[in-house]
């Protein structure tokens, strides 16, 4: 045979072999399960998804296989007949292997063939289980000796030594398996080692300075051992909790801090379209998940930087336009902004007033209308608070802003409730564009401004207004009288 033809044939055979080597083929055998449906699923961020289904034969044997390779990550073999009990496996480049175990203990009885990573993964599980068995009695013993400091200290030293032994084991594994999914998983579990900081003696409040230095280092190095560009890691059970803990627990819960650190985290994921897209969406929705006031600033910043700039390629044009509309309405009234101007407002007394002419230290604006059920309860409640606040020498004025145009129902409500001591006004000729500038899509809506007319609270309940005012003034809130409704129940 011609040598060149032989080489061509050899290359063709190698090419065909590589095609057959693609895809996945994972054989499982589980003692104690027969003629049963089993799922192959995977983690993705904070969810689990089923990808494949097989029925085990009478010997508990079945094969998950497909022509297209699975994306890297930690997968699960789930057993519906066992209340969705499951065991995990690593899926990386090699996707042709077998796993055999027993329902009495999936982990302890696991035998892996054809996957060195999964062998190491289960060896790691068994190691950690063994360490837990060693440490649990020591922890109980230390608790029992809490009144005997010397004995408790010795046990504590042993626990610290055990912890160091485990961390050293993790480091060795991460180095040994560097570049593999298993190596990345183990590395992500290792907290970056903080250096020892020495604060000079001439620094005031050395302890506080040390704590702040340590905090800043921890925040800046939080993701050192978790590669945010690694697509495989988002398909593990620890990626989402790690991100969630950073944003909600490590970062100071102020909008500017969350924006800064959220963007820094997103930018560190560039190079992975998958992780980048998910982290952008995570930060985009932070306002809706957070119970803290002012997080609409996070929404606005993330929207402008990623969605309205065209980087969010997964979002269609209709969705982008909805975001643009929300940004236009939310951006003018973010906490920390100067309140949008409200000029040429006609008062109940048929005079004209401007918001910025109100001289008081605090201004509450309530947007309301007399036909609104919630307004009928909220406006009198706010008026009662207004009167109480004035008695307690808190310099407050209320601008009760009527959102409609017909004077008669407005005047009747004011007169029936005797709301005469604060400013009742409305935009008779709609000069102010208040619905857009203050994002008034429902009533009542309450804003709190400082003496410079800067927004310090928005979409507040009356109780929140009270807490903020007394808190800002450093005064105790008045003792509440028992409501008439409660009195009747008694």
| pLDDT mean over 64-68 | 96
The pLDDT tens digits for 287-332 are 999 989 999 999 999 999 999 999 999 999 999 999 999 999 999 9
- How much is the pLDDT for 5? 46
| pLDDT mean over 432-458 | 96
3-state SS record for 227-246:
CCCCHHHHHCCCHHHHHHHH
- How much is the pLDDT for 148? 81
| pLDDT mean over 158-172 | 93
Assign 23 to helix, strand or coil. Answer: coil
- Say if CB 231 and CB 248 are below 8 A apart: no
Closest CA to 411 of 348, 333, 327, 343: 348
The pLDDT tens digits for 6-55 are 443 344 334 433 333 589 999 999 998 888 999 999 999 999 999 999 99
- How much is the pLDDT for 449? 98
What percent of the chain clears pLDDT 90, i.e. is strictly above it?
82
| pLDDT mean over 138-166 | 86
Residue 139 pLDDT level (bands cut at 50, 70, 90): confident
The pLDDT tens digits for 54-64 are 999 999 999 99
- How much is the pLDDT for 12? 39
- How much is the pLDDT for 84? 85
Q: Rounded to two decimals, what is the model's pTM?
A: 0.86
Q: What is the token pair recorded at 335?
A: 């906490």
Alpha-carbon distances, residue 67 vs 50, 335, 427 (angstroms) = 17, 54, 67
| pLDDT mean over 398-409 | 96
- Say if CB 182 and CB 174 are below 8 A apart: no
The pLDDT tens digits for 110-126 are 999 999 999 999 999 99
Domains identified in the chain and CATH numbers: 3-115 (2.60.40.1120), 238-333 (no CATH), 345-478 (3.40.30.10)
- How much is the pLDDT for 486? 54
Q: What are the φ/ψ torsions at residue 52 (nearest 5 degrees)? A: -150, 155
- How much is the pLDDT for 487? 53
- Say if CB 14 and CB 2 are below 8 A apart: no
- How much is the pLDDT for 149? 81
* DSSP code for 105: -
The pLDDT tens digits for 78-92 are 999 888 899 999 999
- How much is the pLDDT for 21? 52
| pLDDT mean over 397-418 | 96
- Say if CB 102 and CB 109 are below 8 A apart: yes
- How much is the pLDDT for 276? 98
Q: What is the token pair recorded at 160?
A: 């610290």
**Is 50 exceeded by the pLDDT of residue 223?**
yes
> How far is the C-alpha of 442 from the C-alpha of 436, rounded, in Å?
12
């Amino acid at each position: 045979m011609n040598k060149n033809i032989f080489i061509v044939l050899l290359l063709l055979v190698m090419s065909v072999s590589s095609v057959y080597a693609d895809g996945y083929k994972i054989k499982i055998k589980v003692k104690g399960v027969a003629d049963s449906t089993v799922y192959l699923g995977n983690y993705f961020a904070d969810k689990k998804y089923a990808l494949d289904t097989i029925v085990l034969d009478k010997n508990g044997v079945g094969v998950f296989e497909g022509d297209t390779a699975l994306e890297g990550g930690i997968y699960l073999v789930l057993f519906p007949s066992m209340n969705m009990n499951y065991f995990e496996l690593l899926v990386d480049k090699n996707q042709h292997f077998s796993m055999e175990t027993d329902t009495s203990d999936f982990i302890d009885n696991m035998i892996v063939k054809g996957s060195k990573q999964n062998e190491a993964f289960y060896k790691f599980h068994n190691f950690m289980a063994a360490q837990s068995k060693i440490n649990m009695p020591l922890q109980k013993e230390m608790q029992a000796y809490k009144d005997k400091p010397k004995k408790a200290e010795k046990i504590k030293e042993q626990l610290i030594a055990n912890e160091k032994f485990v961390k050293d084991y993790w480091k060795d594994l991460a180095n040994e398996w560097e570049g593999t999914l298993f190596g990345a998983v183990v590395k992500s579990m290792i907290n970056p080692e903080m250096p020892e900081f020495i604060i000079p003696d001439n620094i005031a409040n050395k302890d506080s300075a040390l704590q702040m230095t340590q905090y800043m280092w921890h925040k800046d190095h939080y993701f050192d051992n978790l590669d945010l560009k690694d697509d495989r890691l988002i398909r593990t059970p620890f990626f989402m909790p790690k991100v969630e803990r950073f944003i909600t627990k490590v970062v100071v819960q102020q909008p500017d801090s969350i924006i800064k650190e959220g963007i820094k985290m997103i930018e560190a994921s560039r190079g992975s379209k998958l992780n980048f897209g998910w982290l952008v969406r995570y930060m985009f929705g932070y306002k809706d998940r957070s119970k803290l006031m002012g997080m609409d600033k996070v929404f606005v910043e993330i929207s402008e930087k990623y969605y309205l700039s065209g980087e969010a390629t997964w979002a269609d044009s209709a969705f982008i336009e909805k975001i643009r509309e929300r940004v236009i309405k939310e951006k003018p009234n973010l906490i920390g902004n100067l309140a949008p101007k409200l000029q040429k407002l006609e008062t109940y007394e048929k005079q004209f007033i401007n918001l910025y002419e109100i001289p008081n230290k605090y201004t509450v604006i309530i947007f309301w209308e007399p036909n609104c059920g919630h307004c009928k309860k909220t406006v009198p409640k706010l008026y009662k608070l207004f009167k109480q606040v004035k008695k307690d020498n808190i310099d407050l004025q209320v601008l009760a802003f009527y959102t409609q145009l017909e004077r008669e129902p407005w005047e009747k409500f004011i007169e029936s409730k005797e709301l005469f001591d604060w400013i009742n006004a409305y935009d008779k000729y709609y000069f102010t564009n208040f619905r857009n500038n203050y994002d008034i899509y429902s009533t009542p809506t309450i804003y709190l401004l400082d003496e410079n007319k800067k927004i310090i609270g928005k979409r507040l309940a009356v109780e929140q207004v009270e807490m903020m005012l007394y808190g800002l003034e450093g005064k105790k809130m008045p003792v509440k009288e028992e409501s008439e409704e409660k009195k009747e129940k008694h």
